[in-house]
Structure formats: structure tokens, C-alpha cells
């Protein structure tokens, strides 16, 4: 089946037998990301984790200790 990347509109062809193709057909996921966009987002997410901006949980836990 042919799928269009949600972010860059690139058309990819998925083997109908893949889990991702089945999920898209069943509408269990309705967003397809091509490998390039997926990798880009994945890298950005890891980058943000590395810079420590996702520390809400830790900050909250510290606040609790001061109460």
C-alpha cells in the first residue's frame, strides 16, 4: 500500500504484510512518518532528553521534599 508521510508529504510504499501497514489500514494509527522524519523526531526527542528540559518529574519530586 502507498502511504504519505504526515510531515513531508513523501509517498512511501509499505509491504501490505507489515504491522505498520495493517495498523494504518485498521486506522489504529492514522499518521505515517517516513524514515527520515521519524529519525529526525527521534533524534530531537533524545536531544531534548539530553539537555534536561524534560525534568518536570524530578523538579516536582524535589519540591515535595521541601514541603
Separation of alpha carbons 49 and 27, rounded Å = 30
Binding mask 21-50 for Zn ion (x = CB under 5 A): -------------x--x-------------
Among 1, 4, 8, 54, binds Zn ion (CB under 5 A): 8
Residue with cell 523526531: 41
Residue whose CB is less far from Zn ion, 23 or 61: 23
d(CA 50, CA 24): 32
Q: Applying CB under 5 A, does 3 fall inside the site for Zn ion?
A: no
Which residues sit at the interface with Zn ion, rule CB under 5 A?
Answer: 5, 7-8, 10, 34, 37
Amino acid at each position: 500500500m502507498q502511504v504519505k508521510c504526515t510531515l513531508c508529504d513523501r509517498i512511501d510504499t509499505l509491504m501490505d504484510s507489515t504491522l505498520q501497514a495493517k495498523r494504518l489500514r485498521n486506522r489504529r494509527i492514522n499518521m505515517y512518518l517516513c524514515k527520515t522524519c521519524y529519525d529526525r523526531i527521534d533524534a530531537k526527542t533524545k536531544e531534548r532528553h539530553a539537555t534536561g528540559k524534560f525534568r518536570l518529574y524530578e523538579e516536582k519530586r524535589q519540591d515535595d521534599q521541601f514541603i
